[in-house]
Amino acid sequence: MYQQFPDPSIVDKSFQEHFDIPNKTMYDIVHDMALLRPSEEALSFLNARMNFEALDREIDDCAKGLIQMGFKKGDVFAICLPNIPETVVLFYAVNRLGGVCNMIHPLAPAAQVMEIIHETESRFLCFPEIFMKRFAAHVEEHRPGSPLETVLVAPMARSGDTLSRMGLYWTKGKKALSLMPKNRHWLLWDEMVKNGKDTALPAPADDPDRVSVYLHSGGTTAAAKTVMLSDRNFNGIACQIFTALGFPIDAPRPYGESFIAILPLFHGFGLCIGMHAMLVNGAACILVPQFSTKKLARIIKKQKPTLMAGVPTLFEAVLNDPLMQHVDFSSFRALFCGGDSLTPELKERFDRFLIERGANGRLREGYGLTETVTVCSLTHDASSDRSGIGLPLANTKMKIIDPETKEIKEDGEIGEICVTGSMVMKGYLNQPEATNEALVRHADGEIWVETGDLGYRDPDGFYHFTSRIKRMIKVSGIPIYPIQIENLIAEIPEVLQVAAIGIPHPYQMQVVKVFLRVKDGTDKPALEERIVQLIGERLLRYAIPKEIEYLDKFPQTLIGKIDLKVLEEQERVKYESSLK
């Protein structure tokens, strides 16, 4: 008999299969915490602290300003910001007013941002002033023919201490602000707040099941999609996440917990776990807009954080930097890894590193996808020494199936990972066919996300991830979709065939390599410059190929398609040979 939930002996006493998700919005639960613990620290950024009472006030002030900007219930606000307090404030202000937070990678090229603006019909956009040179001219040029009405500019160091604010303003901010278009469509953050000073706030939005967040993903087919998520999707994860630390859901929240929020807030992992889950549980978010081991070491020494999450490349960087060898990690209760597969070898090395530096916690792995907001299984404290993606969260079911027959595989057998539960998305924006492909009703009558990932389950209910069915490259934990690279390069007239794959890299785990077949007489150096420029303008910089190789003939499958497995195997063998 296939038992859905795990053997009780491998989970914490706080684990439970089900709990009632509060019938509240994300803003409501954070507001409740502000009333309960007004003086407790909520945010930390650039040597400045903000308690829950101040955060609550900032959210209200922002909401008033948004109303004066013309923002109303149901509007979409594109948030293209790094991990700064204004990202947090704007997110909850939009949520309070019943709007949709459209989270965009702050390093996305301006052209891609405007494509997302059109797709999502976003009337508002916010980005930091230091991005002005990269964004302003393009956004202003294409704004008149787009849904975009108002661009809000947030000073990067606005919520930092005095020294940080003045330093960034004089080194970067002042010059950047001089590039800001001078018309009514562009507005500085403090002007927005000032304009809303005397505005009356309506009652907060009260429907936790409406679409409230857009996250951007390759989806289960690796083609670009906008994932629609609700407050209940987020709250169903956030309200229970401290059970992994041994705190029952209905118990009082612990005091003194703090989380290093390095994972970007435009991503489900950073947004839900790094921000929302911490705030609803009364923990402080230490906001880090850009990762470096030097910054991380300084934060650990000064603030003694208890929690952190990252991708495998982050933990590899910590291990490899001599600066980290003398840092005391004893304050950490737990560290979590996601965004890419954590190898048993890396977990073993990092756990040993933690033990040597006084930490009681271990590096734990989780598994999830944007279609489920973020994590849907997690290694609990009782199983923290095991390698694998752990146990399904409360209100969550997982199973391993045969991708063809849909039959459940026996424990230990590899098959496709499927997930169902309260965190499953509402669907893909404007893509009903893709939604129906991703959300599939099985013979048991339930709607399952067929993840496109392969894995297996142990007899005691503990899950493992092995590989991906779908095409995706993870560069430093950032998902890159080869089809997008290939489509762009295929537009170049000199290119006859193109294939993009991920190749092993000692630090970034994977980087992009492109194979080309081109017309005779092609100027290859000029072509390569054009490819780099084109991809840099349209996609994330992680998508820019690190290697380009020219082929006279591509390997083919039996039905005549480019055999990507052959290319990937050749590169794997080449890489392993280089290590000998």
DSSP sequence for 504-552: EETTTEEEEEEEEEE-TT--HHHHHHHHHHHHHHHS-GGGS-SEEEE-S
- Per-residue pLDDT tens over the stretch 519-540: 999 999 999 999 999 999 999 9
CA atoms of 342 and 477, how far apart (whole Å): 11
pLDDT at 3: 60
Which is nearest to 331 in space by CA: 303, 363, 310?
303
**Alpha helices for 275-311 (secondary structure H):** 277-280, 293-303
pLDDT at 471: 74
pLDDT category, 4, cuts 50, 70, 90? low
**Comparing 189 with 509, which gets the higher pLDDT?**
189
**Comparing 561 with 6, which gets the higher pLDDT?**
561
- Per-residue pLDDT tens over the stretch 345-360: 889 999 999 999 999 8
Q: What value does the mean pLDDT take over residues 28-41?
A: 98
pLDDT at 482: 86
- Please tell me the least confidently modeled range out of 67-76, 211-220, 259-268, 528-537: 211-220
List strand residue ranges (DSSP E) for 15-172, in order: 41-45, 48-51, 76-79, 100-103, 124-128, 150-154
The β-bridge partners of 378 are 366, 391
Q: Is the pLDDT of residue 332 over 50?
A: yes
List strand residue ranges (DSSP E) for 52-203, in order: 76-79, 100-103, 124-128, 150-154, 186-188
Q: Is the pLDDT of residue 467 over 80?
A: no
For Cα atoms 574, 510, 115, give the angle at the middle one, nearest 5 degrees.
135
Radius of gyration of the chain (CA): 24
The answer to whether 73 touches 205, Cβ cutoff 8 Å, is yes
Interacting residues of 549 by C-beta distance below 8 A, sequence separation 6+: 513, 514, 515, 516
Q: Provide the mean pLDDT of the chain.
A: 92
CA atoms of 510 and 211, how far apart (whole Å): 34
pLDDT at 449: 96
Q: Is the pLDDT of residue 219 over 60?
A: no
Token output for 311 = 């991708």
Q: Around Cβ 320, how many Cβ atoms within 10 Å?
A: 11
Q: Pairing state of beta strands 225-230 and 463-468?
A: unpaired
> Is 0.85 topped by the overall pTM?
yes
pLDDT category, 5, cuts 50, 70, 90? low
The β-bridge partners of 500 are 514
Token output for 91 = 């997110």
Q: What value does the mean pLDDT take over residues 48-62?
A: 98
3 state DSSP class of 14: coil
pLDDT at 172: 92
All structural domains of the chain, each given as residue ranges with its CATH number in brackets, are 26-206 (3.40.50.980), 255-265+273-468 (3.40.50.12780), 473-578 (3.30.300.30)
User: CA neighbours within 13 Å on the CB side: how many for 161?
Assistant: 6
Q: Is the pLDDT of residue 113 over 60?
A: yes
Interacting residues of 208 by C-beta distance below 8 A, sequence separation 6+: 22, 23, 24, 25, 230, 231, 232, 235
Interacting residues of 345 by C-beta distance below 8 A, sequence separation 6+: none
pLDDT at 466: 83
Q: What value does the mean pLDDT take over residues 267-273?
A: 94
Token output for 425 = 């998305």
High-pLDDT (> 90) share of the chain, % = 76
CA atoms of 500 and 305, how far apart (whole Å): 40
pLDDT at 316: 87
Q: What value does the mean pLDDT take over residues 388-399?
A: 94
Q: Is the pLDDT of residue 542 over 60?
A: yes
Q: Is the pLDDT of residue 73 over 80?
A: yes
